[in-house]
């Protein structure tokens, strides 16, 4: 089936077609091939929610409850679970499948895991396109869930318009979140496992760090027990409200502008590097051997690329999206 046919079916609600499209996108991004998805470039779900936090913090359990709450509010929810450590994709991570299985038969919920690919820091290049695709086929809430709190997670989650950081009491999570740079990107903190001791201390740590950060609007701190659902409906409502507020203040627009720019920059770097490795092998070898200095090598490589840039790089038609890995 062609990509165009898959897209038509996905728009009609065919989750299998959507899954196959996502696989095509991942393959294309992985191999640097270009696929065109009519009308996808400009599509975006109304709410793009990032969920991150340390492994085992309860992200998936919480998300399962959030999905339920958003569904009752009439939203259609698409989830991308990004696993930076896994080379595998296509289908849900087993644990996530178990915890979110309440929704597998709901046509208004789509859950899919993606592996991270790409040369630069393992960031999943396919995420921005998959998010657009979810919007194009009618999901108005897209969730990007990541495992862990490292650099990759921060990057991936920056694709979101509103970011939820899940921490747990008593494990120094707040401090760790701070170190990982999550204090700058979190819009809502959720202290999950609030049935355990240490909630007050964790809240105090977070509030202290937020005092130092002077973020506007100030990130919110909520508490949940995801396993029982305590506090989760409030999180579901708060996250969407905060997303609307960020949009109204113009924060979302400026984040998106930065993101679009970075997406292009990343793709350019990746593509140029791929060509350098391929076409500039001899120059690189001379540098490795010490017979060519770096500055001259750069000049030679750029000249090499400039000569061969033109043929396949025709101007793109508007409304289409290219995947150049």
Q: Which residues contact Mg ion by CB under 5 A? A: 59-60
**Which 120-149 positions form the footprint of ligand GTP (CB under 6 A)?**
147
**Cβ atoms of residues 162 and 49 within 8 Å:** yes
The verdict on 234 binding ligand GTP (CB under 6 A) reads no
Q: Indicate which single residue of 13, 56, 122, 198 sits in contact with ligand GTP (rule: CB under 6 A).
A: 56
- Backbone dihedral angles phi then psi of residue 21, each to the nearest 5 degrees: -60, -45
HSE of 256, CA atoms in CB hemisphere, 13 A: 18
Region for residue 115 given its phi and psi (left: phi exceeds 0; alpha: psi -120 to 50; beta: otherwise): beta
**Cβ atoms of residues 6 and 24 within 8 Å:** yes
Q: Indicate which single residue of 21, 57, 79, 276 sits in contact with ligand GTP (rule: CB under 6 A).
A: 57
Binding-residue pattern over the window 238 to 277 for ligand GTP, x denoting contact by CB under 6 A: ----------------------------------------
**Which 169-228 positions form the footprint of ligand GTP (CB under 6 A)?**
192-193, 195-196, 225-227
Minimum gap (Å) between residue 293 Cβ and Mg ion: 49
Minimum gap (Å) between residue 209 Cβ and ligand GTP: 21
Q: What is the dihedral of CA 68, 125, 184, 218, to 10 degrees?
A: -40
Whose Cβ is closer to ligand GTP: residue 13's or residue 229's? 229
DSSP per residue over 84-136, as a string? TT-S--SS--HHHHHHTGGGTT-TTEEEEEEE--STTTT--THHHHHHHHHHH
SS3 160: coil
Whose Cβ is closer to ligand GTP: residue 164's or residue 226's? 226
Exposed/middle/buried for 198, CB within 10 Å: 0-12, 13-18, 19+?
Answer: middle
CB atoms within 10 A of CB 265: 10
Whose Cβ is closer to ligand GTP: residue 158's or residue 168's? 168
Q: Indicate which single residue of 75, 99, 112, 323 sits in contact with ligand GTP (rule: CB under 6 A).
A: 99
Whose Cβ is closer to ligand GTP: residue 8's or residue 86's? 86
Minimum gap (Å) between residue 8 Cβ and ligand GTP: 33
Whose Cβ is closer to Mg ion: residue 59's or residue 76's? 59
Whose Cβ is closer to ligand GTP: residue 97's or residue 259's? 97
List of residues 6+ apart from 41 with CB closer than 8 A: 132, 319, 320, 321
Whose Cβ is closer to ligand GTP: residue 6's or residue 174's? 174
Whose Cβ is closer to Mg ion: residue 59's or residue 75's? 59
DSSP per residue over 285-305, as a string? HHHHHTSS-HHHHHHHHHHHH
Minimum gap (Å) between residue 80 Cβ and Mg ion: 12
**Residue 89 touches which member of ligand GTP, Mg ion, none, C-beta under 5-8 Å by kind:** none
Minimum gap (Å) between residue 85 Cβ and Mg ion: 12
List of residues 6+ apart from 19 with CB closer than 8 A: 90, 112
**Cβ atoms of residues 110 and 77 within 8 Å:** yes
Number of shown-chain residues binding ligand GTP (CB under 6 A): 18
What's the rounded Cα separation, in Å, for the pair 98 and 83? 16
Minimum gap (Å) between residue 60 Cβ and ligand GTP: 3
Contact positions toward ligand GTP, by CB under 6 A?
A: 53, 55-61, 95, 99, 147, 192-193, 195-196, 225-227
């Amino acid at each position: 089936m062609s990509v165009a046919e898959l897209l038509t079916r996905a728009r009609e609600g065919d989750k299998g077609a959507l899954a196959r499209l996502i696989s095509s996108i991942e393959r294309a991004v992985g191999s640097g091939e270009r696929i065109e998805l009519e009308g996808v470039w400009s599509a975006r779900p109304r709410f793009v929610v990032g969920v991150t936090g340390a492994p085992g913090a309860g992200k998936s359990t919480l998300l399962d409850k959030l999905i339920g709450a958003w569904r009752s509010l009439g939203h259609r929810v698409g989830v991308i679970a990004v696993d930076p450590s896994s080379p595998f994709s296509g289908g849900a991570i087993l644990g996530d499948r178990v915890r979110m299985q309440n929704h597998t038969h709901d046509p208004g919920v789509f859950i899919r895991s993606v592996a991270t690919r790409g040369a630069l820091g393992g960031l999943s290049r396919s995420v921005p396109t998959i998010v657009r695709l979810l919007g194009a086929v009618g999901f108005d809430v897209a969730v990007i869930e990541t495992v862990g709190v490292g650099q990759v997670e921060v990057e991936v989650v920056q694709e979101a318009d509103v970011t939820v950081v899940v921490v747990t009491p008593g494990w120094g999570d707040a401090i760790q979140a701070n170190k990982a740079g999550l204090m700058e990107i979190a819009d809502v903190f959720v202290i999950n496992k609030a049935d355990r001791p240490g909630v007050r201390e964790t809240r105090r740590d977070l509030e202290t760090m937020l005092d130092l950060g002077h973020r506007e609007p100030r990130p919110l701190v909520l508490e949940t027990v995801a396993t029982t659902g305590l506090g989760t409906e409030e999180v579901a409502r708060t996250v969407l409200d905060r997303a609307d507020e960020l949009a109204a203040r113009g924060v979302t627009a400026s984040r998106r502008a930065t993101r679009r720019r970075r997406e292009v920059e990343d793709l350019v770097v990746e593509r140029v590097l791929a060509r350098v490795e391929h076409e500039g092998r001899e120059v690189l070898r001379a540098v490795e051997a010490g017979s060519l200095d770096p500055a001259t090598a750069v000049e030679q490589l750029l000249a090499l690329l400039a000569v061969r840039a033109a043929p396949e790089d025709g101007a793109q038609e508007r409304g289409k999206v290219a995947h150049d890995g």
